[in-house]
Copies of this chain bind each other. A is one copy, B any other.
């Protein structure tokens, strides 16, 4: 459902609120005016673009638990300080470390082709000499589930599901499910290995990595993604009817426990410093590209937005907190650690949103807020509408790393980015800085600076309290 409240009506809603029992949340006129200025200044500002250039060139790939993961934290601390944030600190995040050392794959019978392959996060290694086995093709997880065990046993299961590009990226649901659930399902049926058609919308020869999830006591098998063109080739050869053999050689796996950190910074509120507007992105990335769209962009957008708010002559009433989350990719570890550390302060987290869908233009605002705060959201829309943002629906999750907070009751918004090309690049070697459009990135900063400032200035809250919202944790 799209809502676009006429400005005239929005303007009268604060008054109308007086007639209700529960007070309406509204944003003072002066704050709306400041937000307009902030928006326009942010739209011309290159702070986010230069932060992202710096992060992707000076650090680059930031696999959770890697040396670059540490360097990225040091980078974030230094940058937050340089940007004038009032407080900067880190909070520990502990998780199993997964490492990728080498990977290769080939179609070896009836013809020989090198395949563009990448191991999935959490995949164990193959034997050192590799794994060679016949391929069993399935066109869905349901088909794999329905298959008799003998059709799978000792084979390399290949699940081929195509994703199409959409602005809201909704096909990722089916693509990522194959990646996250397929290997465990194939393992349970006795498969020797697993490959999927990459969960991506491109036709480039880049495999898309991403995490897979094992059942607690289940078998684990080597699991990898092949690029879309390689999946096409494999299907072509399989359809010719001869037995098809694949060889997989993955050197990767878990390597102990690692303690990284969320990097957190604040512009301290002038009147209600204990009340928090929270925004952020995740600092880790997969190791194949330089993590520009996923999620250097989100880190840069939120860092820059907070910095611009901090540069105002007068700090906002509430605190604006920016979090560069640790290890989102392997399972929201940073988001879960934040929740564990801060759930007691949930009601003081007034409103939150993480940016984790690239750097292209924001086109929609979804909001999970209390009904009495919808008028304030409509006031935000007055400021965001001229940036091309339309009002979405009343269900948001706040982005992956804030979804645990939201699931527990924090009011949240999603500033939904245009994801049309996101899954062309996502989790590939092709996720690099050149894919960032500076004008669209600046529009993101304008949106984040404006909404965060208005939320920090609002009279009244957005409904954060334990159990207030019933949405689940976002899949990643």
Contact = CB atoms under 8 A, between A and B. Distances in A.
A290 to B, nearest CB: 7
Contacts of A53: 236
Contact of A433 (B56, B232, B433): B232
A434 B232 contact: yes
Contact of A432 (B56, B233, B428, B430): B233
Contact of A205 (B59, B61, B203, B429): B429
A60 interface: yes
A206 interface: yes
B434 A229 contact: yes
Interface in A413-441: 428-430, 432-435
A164 to B, nearest CB: 15
Given A57-B236, A205-B206, A432 B229 contact: yes
Interface in A54-74: 56-61
B232 A111 contact: no
Given A59-B111, A111-B57, A433 B204 contact: no
Contacts of A204: 204, 206, 430
Nearest to A59: B111
Contacts of A289: 205
Contacts of A237: 57
Interface string A57-97: 11111000000000000000000000000000000000000
Query: What is the count of identical protomers in the complex?
Result: 2
A290 B205 CA distance: 11
A227 B376 CA distance: 48
A225 to B, nearest CB: 16
Interface string A209-243: 00000000000000000001100110011001000
Contacts of A233: 56-57, 290, 432-433
A156 interface: no
B116 A429 contact: yes
Interface string A113-133: 110100000000000000000
A290 B57 contact: no
B434 A228 contact: yes
A59 B236 CA distance: 13
Interface string A312-335: 000000000000000000000000
A204 B421 CA distance: 13
A84 B429 CA distance: 46
A4 B204 CA distance: 39
B205 A430 contact: yes
A430 B57 contact: no
Nearest to A57: B236
Contacts of A290: 113, 233
A116 B204 CA distance: 14
A429 B114 CA distance: 10
Contacts of A61: 113-114
A36 to B, nearest CB: 34
Interface string A437-451: 000000000000000
A228 B205 CA distance: 15
A332 B448 CA distance: 57
A92 B368 CA distance: 73
A428 B203 CA distance: 13
A432 B111 contact: no
B203 A435 contact: yes
Contacts of A59: 111
14 contacts: A53-B236, A57-B111, A57-B236, A59-B111, A60-B112, A113-B290, A203-B434, A204-B430, A228-B434, A229-B434, A229-B435, A232-B432, A232-B433, A233-B433
Given A233-B290, A233-B432, 12 more contacts: A53-B236, A56-B233, A57-B111, A57-B233, A61-B113, A203-B434, A204-B204, A204-B206, A205-B206, A232-B433, A232-B434, A233-B433
Chain A to chain B: the 5 pairs with minimum beta-carbon distance, closest first: A229-B432, A205-B429, A57-B236, A229-B434, A232-B434
